Amino acid sequence: MITIVIALMIVGAVAIVAYPLFNQSNQLDVTFAGTRDPVLEGLVSQRDVMYSAIKDLENDHAMGKLSDADYKSLRAKYEAKAVAILQELDNAVGSKPSARVTRDDDAVEREIARLRRAAATNGSTKCPQCGTPYAAGDVFCAKCGASLRGVRCPSCGTRAAVGDKFCAKCGRTL
Amino acid sequence: MADFAMADLGYASLLLSLFLSIYAAGAAFFAARRKDSALFASARNAMFVIAALTTLAVGVLEWALITHQFRFEYVAEQTSRAQPLLYNVSALWGGQEGSLLFWAWLLGIFTTIVLIQNHDKNQELIAYVVIGQAIAQGFFLALMTLVTNPSASGFFILTPFTPDATNALVGNPFRLLDFVPRDGNGLNPLLQNPGMFIHPVTQYLGYVAFTIPFAFAMAALFARRLSDVWIRTTRRWTLVAWLFLSLGLLFGMQWAYTELGWGGYWGWDAVENASLMPWLTGTAFLHSVMIQERRGMLKVWNLVLVMLTFCLSILGTFITRSGVIQSVHAFGVSSLGPWFLAFLGVTTLAFLYLLFDRIDDLKEENELDSLLSRESSFLLNNLILVGAAFATLWGTIFPMVSEAFTGKKVTVGAPFFNQVNGPIFFALVVLVGICPLIGWRRATPENLLRNFLRPLVVSMVTAVALFVLGVREWYGLLSFSTVAFVLVTIGTEYSRDVIARMRQHAENPATALVRLILGNRRRYGGYIVHIGVILAVLGIAGSSFYQVETQSNLRPGDTMRLKQYTLQYDGLQDYPTENHRVVAARLTVLENGQPVGTLSPEKDYYDNPNPDAAQWTTEVAVRTTAREDLYVILAGFDSTVGTATIKAIINPLVVWLWIGFAILVVGTLIAALPDPREERAPARSRVREAAAQA
């Protein structure tokens, strides 16, 4: 009696294991086609590493663990590296439309906002009131106290860059 | 005839699982090489079937244990009719064969979870992970289904198809006897304690869970995918595994404290050390991976650390099982020892080969900006923890090594471990305090000193206050003031960040604190874990340095004194319970002359059909306050005259050890919570836009 049960068990096990080999059309949800390219993976990793590095620098500086001089020099160093990686990543992503790049949206948003501001003020980030250069992530100008963040759009609530005349999301006049 | 049938069913499911695991390893290998999804799906299905079959085998064994199938040799050894149900159920992991089955079962379940978690990602890595898991699974299954007792068969492995082969198999949980005993031996009375239910389970969960990060590490090496994907995928597994190892340590210590009756919770016993060592390297690993994720450094360190943790977990299982080192835990000498060592050796060699072969893919992405930086303190952390693990390992295996070379049996006792590990752990505690004060990349020395000042001042004040209150020993003053230092450091981190948040978002302190923690669960959960560790250190320091004891022989009505406590002996009680006889001493406890309660330390007698196996155990009675434990033992008694020998111990601050661990658990759970940011949608187009505008 138990021999029959055991025999059925063996048959069942073999059937479950062999099924995918014969049922090629039903690929289940496993496919190697979407496997990420290790080079791309490495670049995404490095990009995230740079963003975390910059965020940590900001935090440490704000908490008083890092002096102004150290903060500025390290930050410049890592920002340069970050831009280089972003460009390399863009080349890689551009040629592989099926690849997915994820993670750390906030850092990306900040980077975009900063680059937009840099573009708007011809490549350097200066306080709109007194003209003193400020670091990305600063909310108030250290010299005159003016707000460095743009206003919120009254319609859709998106925060604009300082100096913007129209909301980038919904187009309303600011 | 049900017992014959079920034994066959159990053994058959294990043997079938063994063949499936060999198939799965091969299929997954070729699937990865050829990028063949059908073959991979087949290997994956095989792993699912193995999980189901081992569950069936566990079901069969539990059925036998619960329904008293004494023809099963394992059941006859581990249970008896009078034994409470709880201990019959827990007998599954109580003996050697059962614990092998338990390991294989847990491994199957964890592999299933990993496969489901990764059903839509990491395909190439997962194929290699399946190979690793299948091999580990195959090892444990082979131990149960193939390895024979050399004296029975003449050689190590016997094919399972010869007559009565299954009953010569050393690891087989389903061995049958020629007859049906009327009753079983019952569990060793020392093990009849609720700790039996929870300690081995959490310990095994920890050991088995660490196979997952290791399998991913091996897979990453094999597939040359050495960015931090393997680390990010296994981050929660590492935390969960470490949590279970911590729980295993906690419940082991708790059990020793309440059951063994010598007033302590840690004796540097070989098996205790076996559970401590992977915890130490596991702690180093889970800190060190943060550096790789943030800065792309310490890549080789992380691979070595996860390998060490896995090997020490297997070693821990081996030391507990083989009796090769004298221990309270010894389950008797077993012939499975050499197999464990062989498995360990082969795995280590394979890993090291892959590591050296792929060394070029493990280039650091950054270098140390400064010796005074958080990165270098993490490196120091690695060195300290691995140092402690090696010192413990050396002390643990030295008796074995010495006997092998000189023929003399030596014992390495607590003094060695305390002298070597004491200073190492002290350095670690100091590091826990200093590290948050140091910035990433580079700490400006002036800033560091400024941040150092407040905690330093508080710790000095603490030392002076304690001195005034009567604490004069340098080690006591040093430990307590260091504890104060670290608590202030962590407290400052929290309060500074909460205040900053309150200003930014106009929140009240409670909301700010909760949002702060939820906003970065890893960091703030980690700080909570550190608080727990420091409180545990407080408990350890208090009870190690300031324990006092006394012993008296008392007649009914006599009293004994220890510091501010008076114990009044009222008499002996003698009564039977379900499966043992209790002799208890009734004591009234007075503190500074005022009655505060009663205590009843016991000696319990467990009878047994085999007269050699009958034994007395000690049940201590403890009165716990925040300040100290009053720990009372019935060391001896004379029932004819009603006298009792009472030993009383005061263990200061012990309760903080347990509280500290509880806080550690909470902190780990917080750190393991999913981060909302990880669930966001891809930002590919935004990356392009940013780069285009730059």
Q: pLDDT tens digit string along B167-224?
A: 667 788 888 888 888 888 887 777 777 887 899 999 999 999 999 999 999 999 998 8
The model's confidence at residue A110, banded by pLDDT at 50, 70 and 90, is low
pLDDT at residue number B158: 46
Q: Which of residues 242-301 of B touch A (CB under 8 A)?
A: 293-296
Give the β-pairing of B615-619 and B548-554.
unpaired
**Is B436 domain-assigned?**
no
pLDDT at residue number B482: 92
Cα–chain center distance at B174 = 28
Extract the tokens encoding B479: 């430990």
Mean pLDDT is lowest, of A101-110, B195-204, B384-393, B496-505, for A101-110
Closest CA to B451 of A88, A63, A119: A63
Residue B533 and residue B539: Cα distance in Å, rounded? Answer: 10
**Is B271 domain-assigned?**
yes
Mean pLDDT is lowest, of A9-13, A90-94, B332-336, B629-633, for B332-336
Cross-chain residue pair B9–A24, CB shorter than 8 Å: no
Average pLDDT over residues B516-525: 85
Q: Which of residues 11-50 of A touch B (CB under 8 A)?
A: 13, 16-21, 23-24, 27-32, 34-35, 38, 41-42, 44-49
Q: Which of B442, B446, B498 to mutate to test the interface with A (most CBs of A within 10 A)?
A: B442
Q: Cite the DSSP H helix spans in B506-607.
A: 509-519, 521-545
* Nearest Cβ partner for A90 among B45, B366, B688: B688
Average pLDDT over residues B373-402: 90
B117 near A CB under 8 A: no
Other CB atoms within 10 A of residue B692 CB: 11
Cross-chain residue pair B123–A94, CB shorter than 8 Å: no
Phi, psi for residue B328 in degrees, rounded to 5: -60, -30
> B645: helix, coil or strand?
strand
Residue A57 has pLDDT above 50, yes or no: yes
CA of A56 vs chain B CAs: smallest distance (Å): 7
Mean pLDDT is lowest, of A29-33, B58-62, B273-277, B532-536, for A29-33
pLDDT at residue number A115: 59
CA of B600 vs chain A CAs: smallest distance (Å): 53
Average pLDDT over residues B600-610: 83
Cross-chain residue pair B224–A38, CB shorter than 8 Å: yes
* Nearest Cβ partner for A17 among B46, B119, B438: B46
The model's confidence at residue B366, banded by pLDDT at 50, 70 and 90, is confident
Average pLDDT over residues B96-115: 94
Q: Which of residues 67-126 of A touch B (CB under 8 A)?
A: 67, 70, 74, 83, 86-87, 89-90, 93-94, 99-106, 108-109, 111-112, 115-116, 119
- Bridge partners of B553, per DSSP, are B645
Residue B480 has pLDDT above 60, yes or no: yes
Cα–chain center distance at B464 = 38
Mean pLDDT (chain A) is 72
Closest CA to B18 of B130, B174, B140: B140
B691 near A CB under 8 A: yes
Q: Which residues of A touch B9 (CB under 8 A)?
A: 2, 5-6
Q: Are residues B135 and B214 in the same domain?
A: no
Q: Cite the DSSP H helix spans in B407-520.
A: 414-434, 445-468, 474-505, 509-519
pLDDT digits (tens, 9 = 90+) for B222-243: 988 887 888 888 989 999 999 9
**Is B310 domain-assigned?**
yes
Q: Are residues B237 and B346 in the same domain?
A: yes
Nearest residue in chain A measured CA to CA from B232:
A45
Residue B465 has pLDDT above 50, yes or no: yes
Residue B618 has pLDDT above 90, yes or no: no
**Is B437 domain-assigned?**
no
CA of A73 vs chain B CAs: smallest distance (Å): 11
**Is B118 domain-assigned?**
yes
B523 near A CB under 8 A: no
Residue B477 and residue B466: Cα distance in Å, rounded? Answer: 7
pLDDT at residue number B689: 45
Average pLDDT over residues B329-333: 50
Average pLDDT over residues B422-432: 92
Residue B326 has pLDDT above 60, yes or no: no
Residue B254 has pLDDT above 70, yes or no: yes
Average pLDDT over residues B332-338: 68
Compute the half-sphere exposure of residue B295: CA atoms within 13 Å on the CB side of its CA: 20
Query: How many structural domains does chain B have?
Result: 4
* Nearest Cβ partner for B49 among A17, A53, A99: A17
Residue B193 and residue B87: Cα distance in Å, rounded? Answer: 8
CA of B386 vs chain A CAs: smallest distance (Å): 26
Task: Please classify residue B610 by burial: count the beta carbons closer than 10 Å to its beta carbon, then call 0-12 exposed, 13-18 middle and 19+ buried.
Answer: exposed
CA distances from A102 to A93, B527, B681 (A): 12, 28, 7
The model's confidence at residue B632, banded by pLDDT at 50, 70 and 90, is very high
Cross-chain residue pair B293–A112, CB shorter than 8 Å: no
CATH code of the domain covering residue B571: 2.60.98
Q: What percent of chain A has pLDDT over 90?
A: 8
B540: Cβ–Cβ under 8 A, 6 or more apart, which residues?
Answer: B657
Residue B282 has pLDDT above 70, yes or no: yes
Q: Which residues of B touch A56 (CB under 8 A)?
A: 294, 439-441
The model's confidence at residue B484, banded by pLDDT at 50, 70 and 90, is very high
Cross-chain residue pair A56–B48, CB shorter than 8 Å: no
Residue A141 has pLDDT above 80, yes or no: no
Give the β-pairing of B615-619 and B565-576.
unpaired
B347: Cβ–Cβ under 8 A, 6 or more apart, which residues?
Answer: B310, B311, B314
**Is B693 domain-assigned?**
no
Q: Which residues of A touch B676 (CB under 8 A)?
A: none
* Nearest Cβ partner for A20 among B6, B38, B123: B38
The model's confidence at residue B308, banded by pLDDT at 50, 70 and 90, is very high
Residue B79 and residue B85: Cα distance in Å, rounded? Answer: 9
Q: Are residues B332 and B224 in the same domain?
A: yes
CA of B229 vs chain A CAs: smallest distance (Å): 8
A4 near B CB under 8 A: no
**Residues shown for chain B:** 694
Q: What percent of chain B has pLDDT over 70?
A: 91
pLDDT at residue number B438: 80
Residue B36 domain boundaries? 1-192
DSSP H helix total and E strand total for chain B: 21, 10
Average pLDDT over residues B352-373: 84
B694 near A CB under 8 A: yes
B53 near A CB under 8 A: yes
Looking at residue B286, its amino acid is: L
Each domain of chain A, given as residue ranges in start order, spans: 37-103, 122-174
Of the ranges B122-131, B364-373, B531-540, which is most confident? Answer: B531-540
pLDDT at residue number A116: 56
Q: Which residues of A touch B30 (CB under 8 A)?
A: none
pLDDT at residue number A36: 61
The model's confidence at residue B83, banded by pLDDT at 50, 70 and 90, is confident
Residue B370 has pLDDT above 70, yes or no: yes
Residue B261 and residue B263: Cα distance in Å, rounded? Answer: 6
* Nearest Cβ partner for B45 among A20, A67, A70: A20
pLDDT at residue number A111: 62
Residue B683 has pLDDT above 50, yes or no: no
Residue B7 has pLDDT above 50, yes or no: yes
Q: Are residues B607 and B536 in the same domain?
A: no
Angle in degrees, CA A25, A30, A31, rounded to 5 = 80
Residue B358 has pLDDT above 70, yes or no: yes
CA of A138 vs chain B CAs: smallest distance (Å): 13
Of the ranges A49-53, A96-100, B281-285, B374-378, which is most confident? Answer: B281-285
Q: What percent of chain B has pLDDT over 90?
A: 48
Cross-chain residue pair B365–A46, CB shorter than 8 Å: yes
Q: Are residues B56 and B9 in the same domain?
A: yes
Q: Are residues B198 and B309 in the same domain?
A: yes
**Is B345 domain-assigned?**
yes
Nearest residue in chain A measured CA to CA from B12:
A6
CA of A174 vs chain B CAs: smallest distance (Å): 23
Q: Which residues of A touch B296 (CB under 8 A)?
A: 45-46, 49
Q: Which residues of B touch A64 (CB under 8 A)?
A: 447, 450-451
Residue B331 has pLDDT above 50, yes or no: no
pLDDT at residue number B75: 92
Cross-chain residue pair A13–B49, CB shorter than 8 Å: yes
> Residue holding tokens 């090696």?
B390
Q: Cite the DSSP H helix spans in B188-228.
A: 195-209, 211-223
Average pLDDT over residues B123-129: 87
Residue B64 has pLDDT above 50, yes or no: yes
Cross-chain residue pair B683–A105, CB shorter than 8 Å: yes
Q: Are residues B321 and B264 in the same domain?
A: yes
CA of B684 vs chain A CAs: smallest distance (Å): 5
Cross-chain residue pair B447–A86, CB shorter than 8 Å: no
Residue B406 and residue A4: Cα distance in Å, rounded? Answer: 57
Mean pLDDT (chain B) is 86
Which of B124 and B272 is assigned the larger pLDDT? B272
CA distances from B238 to B11, B216, B279, B437 (A): 33, 11, 11, 26
Average pLDDT over residues B651-664: 95
> Residue holding tokens 């800190």?
B287
Cα–chain center distance at B392 = 15
**Is B683 domain-assigned?**
no
Q: Are residues B380 and B310 in the same domain?
A: yes
> Do residues B439 and B374 lie in contact, with contact meaning Cβ atoms separated by under 8 Å?
yes
Q: Which of A31, A63, A73, A139 to mutate to test the interface with B (most CBs of B within 10 A)?
A: A63
Element of type H or E holding A44 = helix A38-62
pLDDT at residue number B680: 35
Alpha-carbon radius of gyration of chain A: 26
Nearest residue in chain A measured CA to CA from B690:
A112
Residue B323 and residue B340: Cα distance in Å, rounded? Answer: 13
Which of B528 and A49 is assigned the larger pLDDT? B528
Q: Are residues B389 and B521 in the same domain?
A: no
